[in-house]
Amino acid sequence: MVSYLLLWTLAVPLIGAVFAAVCPDRLGRWVAAVAALLTFGLTLALGVGRQSGMWHELDWAWVPEFGLRLQLGVDGISFPLVVLTGLLTLLCCGYSIWHTPKPGRGNILGALLLLIEVGILGTFLAQNLVLFFIAFEVVLLPMAAVIAVWGGEGARRAALKFALYTLAGSVLLLIGVIAVVVLTGSGDMVNPPPLSRDAQLWIFALFAVAFAVKSPLWPLHTWLPDAHTEAPTVGSVILAGVLLKMGTYGLIRVGVGVTPEGFAWASPVLGVLAVAAIIIGSLVCLVQTELKRLIAYSSVGHMGFVLLGISTGTQAGLEAALIGNIAHGVLTGLLFFLAGAIKDRAHTGELSELGGLREKAPWLAGILGLAAIGSLGLPGLAGFWGEAFAVLASYSRGGPLWTTLAVVAAIGGALTAAYLLRLLRKVSHGPLAPSLSTAADTRLVEAISWSPLVLLALVLGALPGLVINLAAGAALITEAVGK
């Protein structure tokens, strides 16, 4: 179905970013929020007319002289991520109306958030490798600016580290994209022309490293804790909630879709790296002393579960990756909102200087508890399904390697519970810390910003099929790759 909704979904936040940037501070914040609201409505509208294959498609001649086409589309794999991007951007732009780290520049922050949204949405909607690469790169400079300008004391160093790491990954992605286009004469991601097995092996290796940097996956994750620790609250929410998903989505859509033989060849290595990320990320979290840094490292482990699901090459594995991506975006986005609220009140994120939050701000402590136990994988909340399905998919794959990976990943799940319960003990329980002696409970604007994420954590925990069933057709294709 040819749909101009796809074009408007990208055009509205881009136009909104321009207007927000030229408007005065307060008005610019409202313009950004309105543009984000309209964009979120458009992302929901893309769910109308669902069918097998692509639900909506748009294919225009872009640069005919070079054979480049503007190919956009949405299906069951991309739609949940598109909606999540629209929702989190809306919540962040709305939150920024009342809370901007550096007053006087709120309109610019809103404009940058919308530019980041354009890049992320473009990545999820692109059906052409060249367009995918361009959208993938659009995110880099605006996110680096958000970290550098509105971040903490070490923000510039963290932003530079983020930029250098992602730029290095981008170079590898560009080489892979150029190789595919040169060898096949096409950048089509929906019906990619066949590549020789030898070409697929080395091209997939390039793609895998590039997407591992963006996700980030161990051992290419070291930019993430610094970026999260120094970024403003809205930057951390977008970074963890949807920007990291560009890597795992790219691995599915580009790595598996364009170079399936390369993926099948490398899947055991990916499985081992995934489990290493789960265990190492959890162990590092157990010794972390700073709130946002702990939550940042938790993403390494959670993305490990997503990669484990993908690496199995089975239907259950892809389902685990899809629901794991969405659950992580919802729960970790909520955790970073809460971490920002706690640091605003206590003026510190050091766990040794926090404690007794439930005595002074019971609602805030309660929401933190919900987000933490959801993130550790408690049955009935969104985080359970991704971890459980990933372990099950690995065990079902059979053989000594995959069975061992399933067992070790399950141990990693227990470690996840340990460090998140430690977080709750340090922050919410015990005697009231002096830093929280005057802390206010959840404010109205915070409750409005957080409530959709709380609701999604509950709904997806009870009804994971809302995400899983959307991608049934695509999951069957990936299962065929694993056989």
The partner residues of 60 in beta bridges, in order of sequence, read: 70
Give how far the C-alpha of residue 138 lies from the chain's centroid of Cα atoms, to the nearest Å: 16
Band (474; pLDDT cuts 50, 70, 90): low
Dist. CA 181–CA 203, nearest whole Å: 11
In this predicted model, which residue has the larger pLDDT, 437 or 406? 406
Q: How confident is the model at residue 481 (pLDDT cuts 50, 70, 90)?
A: very low
Rounded CA-CA distance 454/255 in Å is: 33
What is the rounded CA–CA span in Å between residue 394 and residue 244? 23
In this predicted structure, the answer to whether residue 245 has a pLDDT above a threshold of 50 is: yes
Q: Which residue has the higher pLDDT, 441 or 35?
A: 35
Distance CA 95, CA 451 (A): 12
The HSE-up count of residue 421 (CA atoms within 13 Å, CB side) is 8
Residues 309/320, Cβ–Cβ less than 8 Å: yes
- Evaluate whether 427 touches 354 at the Cβ level (below 8 Å): yes
Pairwise CA distance, residues 332 & 270, whole Å:
23
Using pLDDT thresholds of 50, 70 and 90, give the confidence band for residue 64: low
Axis crossing angle, helix 399-427 with helix 362-375, rounded to the nearest 10? 170
Q: pLDDT tens-digit profile of 351-369?
A: 888 888 888 888 999 999 9
pLDDT of 389 strictly over 80: yes
* Mean of pLDDT values over 70-98: 90
- Alpha-carbon distances of 118 from 13, 14, 121, 206, 449, rounded to whole Å: 6, 6, 5, 25, 21
Q: Please give the average per-residue pLDDT across 236-245, as a whole number.
A: 87
Q: Tokens representing 16? A: 């909104």
| The pLDDT value given to residue 297 | 87
Q: Is 314 helix (H, G, I), strand (E, B) or coil?
A: coil
Here the tokens at position 271 are 């499985």
- Cα gap 326→123, rounded to integer Å: 16
Output the pLDDT for position 351. Answer: 87
What is the sign, positive or negative, of the torsion defined by CA atoms of 401, 407, 409, 412? negative
Which has more confidence, 470 or 462? 462
State residue 386 phi and psi, 5-degree precision: -65, -45
Mean pLDDT of the chain: 86
Among candidate residues 178, 186, 303, the one with its CA nearest the CA of residue 246: 303
Amino acid at 363: W
What is the reported pLDDT for 334?
Answer: 93
Banded pLDDT at 477 (limits 50, 70, 90): very low
Q: pLDDT, tens digit, for every residue of 17-27?
A: 999 988 888 89
Percent of the chain with pLDDT over 70: 94
Read off the pLDDT band of 104 (50, 70, 90): low
User: Using 50, 70 and 90 to split pLDDT, how confident is the model at 292?
Assistant: confident
Cα–Cα dist 265/310, whole Å:
13
Range scoring the smallest mean pLDDT among 39-48, 215-224, 277-286, 470-479: 470-479
Instruction: Tell me the two tokens of residue 64.
Output: 């005919």
CA distance 365 to 357: 6
Chain segment 268-290, per-residue pLDDT in tens: 999 999 999 999 989 988 888 88
| Lowest-confidence region among 68-72, 133-137, 474-478 | 474-478
Asked if residue 329 lies in contact with residue 88, where contact means CB atoms within 8 angstroms, the answer is yes
Evaluate the CA torsion angle 477, 478, 479, 482 in order and state its sign.
positive
pLDDT score of 1 more than 70 = no
Q: Residue 479's pLDDT is what?
A: 41
Rg over alpha carbons for the chain, rounded to the nearest Å, is 21
Q: Which amino acid is at 320?
A: A
- CB contact set of 414 (below 8 Å; sequence gap of 6+): none
The Cα–Cα gap between 283 and 20 comes to 43
The predicted-structure confidence for 87-103, as pLDDT tens digits, reads as follows 999 999 988 888 776 66
Residue 215 has pLDDT above 50, yes or no: yes
Mean pLDDT confidence for 371-386:
88
Question: Residue 296 — pLDDT band, cuts 50, 70, 90?
Answer: confident
Nearest Cα residue to 343 out of 233, 453, 450, 419: 233
Task: Look at residue 483 in the predicted model and tell me its pLDDT.
Answer: 44
Nearest to 460 by CA among 392, 400, 354, 380: 380
Count CB neighbours of 480 within 10 A: 11
Looking at residue 475, its pLDDT comes to: 42
Give the per-residue pLDDT at 33. 93
Residue 338 CB partners (closer than 8 Å, separation 6+): 364, 367, 368, 371, 450
Indicate if the pLDDT at residue 472 is higher than 70.
no
Is residue 478 scored above 90 in pLDDT? no
* 59 confidence band (pLDDT: 50, 70, 90): confident
